[in-house]
Homo-oligomer: A and B are copies of this chain.
């Protein structure tokens, strides 16, 4: 329990009658150190139970080997997978993760970034909080010369590395699928339009309709806050579903920007005995596990989040290893995959359960 005085590199040096430099080099496997001393050092490391002090090393080297991640919230599957994806890649390069949650709040995001900067992380990988409009704190990162990669919720008009899901394409494919299944009047549960991903999904929806000469009916586009806790969105979905029942000509398809909203609607429809997908077909977004479990199982878009995390990490490494000024920021698109399930399967047999 008591704070032992930790053994340092000099303790080892003293014991071996060499200087700290030698020990340091031995530990770093420096070519000019004889094998015999290297062995001796390693032995002593064991004997004295030496634990390297990364802090001292980081101070001297100006490199912490930590990379910071900002997530809106760690308890959504989506972001949890991203973290995993990032970690998979960077751990191989000897980096470690420091995670800050913004809870989608501007203040927490800002202070999180400050913290990361204070511990001198070697880079930051972030997704922007839904509240955030002022982006001076992100500019600060760039100004300090710290590599920055944004993922998913990015900032247009800000020249940094991006990795985003191709939301436009995802939406387009989803709606096209509904049309192919015979839907002619398709509603859209949209997210708040100041957030890019929801804009793109709406645009993808519109394009698919236009391409099949289906008129875009504003009445069928319902915007609501789809960034909340899961149960709240489910409730929102129920309300949206109910409201659709009120309008004169009920739509025969729904493309929802959130799985949970779609599931809320499914629940309502089932209670009212409205047949899915015959009377109304649904497609959600994100391919949450529960989408495979609800009945009928919900067709959804898998965003390949782990791959997205991988990609963000690689982008960071690339920027990190490029010599000064060489690097120009890139934008990577991850293509989402439509997982067709019963909720939209009017014609053939379901492919996946």
- Cross-chain contact A1 with B59 (CB below 8 angstroms): no
Q: Do A51 and B118 form a contact, CB below 8 Å, given A98-B66, A294-B293?
A: yes
Known A2-B145, A75-B83, A98-B98; further 7 A-B contacts with Cβ < 8 A = A1-B324, A1-B325, A54-B115, A54-B119, A74-B80, A83-B99, A293-B293
Interface string of A93-136 (1 = CB under 8 A from B): 00011111100000000000011011110000000000000000
List 5 tightest A-B contacts by C-beta distance, closest first: A75-B80, A290-B290, A54-B118, A3-B145, A54-B119
Which residue in B1, B56, B295 is a CB contact (below 8 Å) of A294?
Answer: B295
| A80 closest partner in B (C-beta) | B75
Residue of A83, A84, A119 ringed by the most chain B CB atoms within 10 A? A119
Identical copies in the complex: 2
- Cross-chain contact B74 with A77 (CB below 8 angstroms): no
Would you give 20 A-B contacts (Cβ < 8 Å), ordered by A?
A: A2-B324, A3-B145, A3-B324, A4-B143, A51-B117, A51-B144, A54-B120, A55-B119, A59-B59, A75-B81, A75-B83, A96-B119, A97-B98, A97-B100, A98-B98, A98-B99, A231-B289, A293-B294, A294-B295, A295-B295
- The residues of A with any CB-CB pair to B shorter than 8 Å are 1-4, 6, 49, 51-56, 58-59, 64, 66, 73-77, 80-81, 83-84, 87, 96-101, 114-115, 117-120, 142-145, 230-231, 234, 263, 289-290, 292-295, 324-325, 327
When chains A and B are docked, how far (Å) is the Cα of A118 from the Cα of B96? 11
Closest Cβ of chain B to A85, distance in Å, is 10
Closest Cβ of chain B to A89, distance in Å, is 13
- Cross-chain contact B4 with A145 (CB below 8 angstroms): yes
Closest Cβ of chain B to A308, distance in Å, is 13
